[in-house]
């Protein structure tokens, strides 16, 4: 990361920490049967991961959840083959302000919705996704374990060898067990 991007990230983190100092959310444990709404954050890296996300959405639909999906594309433009999937909102680097904070109404709406479940399915650290997940008003947040922060109520420790498919299977297995 070059020095300019490093400065932008530090300013973005500073702004995030300021917002988090006044941030409050209502926490509740939920499983697939008790939840009525779910938010999904993800970063599609290829067509395979995008297909796995779609299969997970189909799985969630079996529980009659109202699902909101938001994906971040880590480039200036969204690939055309990602634009045709209905019900999936995407944003890219083009929708970030100078300090890497998402600056679009769909992101603000996503943050403000008090989902029963929030799934952060990103396998790498992306500041825009971290920003959304940490400021989300969701009641029960699920994501991967990171050393930097503990933003989630249920975390999965994924080493670099683990893939999205493994992550999704663990989510399915453990959310069935939660009472």
pLDDT, one tens digit per residue, over 56-92 is 999 999 999 999 999 999 999 888 877 777 788 999 9
- The region of weakest confidence among 111-120, 148-157, 166-175 is 148-157
- The region of weakest confidence among 11-20, 111-120, 154-163 is 154-163
Give residue limits of the domains in the chain: 32-177
Q: What share of the chain in percent tops pLDDT 90?
A: 66
Q: CB–CB of 67/109 below 8 Å? A: no
Mean pLDDT confidence for 166-171: 93
Q: CB–CB of 48/127 below 8 Å? A: no
Quickly count: other Cβ atoms within 10 Å of residue 1's Cβ: 7
Structure confidence at residue 80 (pLDDT): 80
- Chain CA centroid to CA 36, Å: 18
**Between 127-135 and 105-112, two packed helices, what is the crossing angle to 10 degrees?**
40
Q: What is the pLDDT of residues 105-136, one digit of tens each?
A: 999 999 999 999 999 999 888 999 999 999 99
Distance CA 102, CA 104 (A): 6
Residue recorded with tokens 């769909």:
106
The CATH number assigned to the domain with range 32-177 reads 3.40.50
Is residue 1 pLDDT above 70, yes or no? Answer: no
């Amino acid at each position: 990361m070059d020095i300019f991007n490093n400065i932008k990230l530090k300013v973005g983190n500073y702004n995030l920490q300021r917002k988090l100092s006044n941030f409050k959310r209502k926490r509740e444990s939920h499983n697939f049967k008790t939840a009525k709404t779910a938010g999904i954050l993800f970063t599609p890296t290829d067509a395979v991961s995008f297909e796995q996300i779609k299969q997970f959405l189909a799985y969630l639909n079996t529980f009659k959840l109202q699902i909101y999906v938001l994906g971040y594309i880590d480039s200036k433009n969204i690939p055309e083959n990602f634009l045709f999937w209905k019900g999936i909102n995407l944003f890219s680097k083009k929708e970030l302000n100078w300090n890497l904070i998402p600056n679009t109404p769909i992101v603000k709406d996503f943050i403000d919705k008090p989902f029963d479940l929030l799934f952060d399915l990103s396998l790498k650290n992306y500041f825009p996704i971290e920003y959304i997940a940490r400021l989300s008003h969701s009641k029960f947040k699920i994501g991967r374990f990171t050393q930097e922060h503990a933003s989630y109520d249920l975390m999965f420790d994924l080493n670099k060898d683990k893939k999205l498919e493994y992550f999704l299977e663990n989510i399915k297995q453990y959310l069935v067990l939660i009472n």
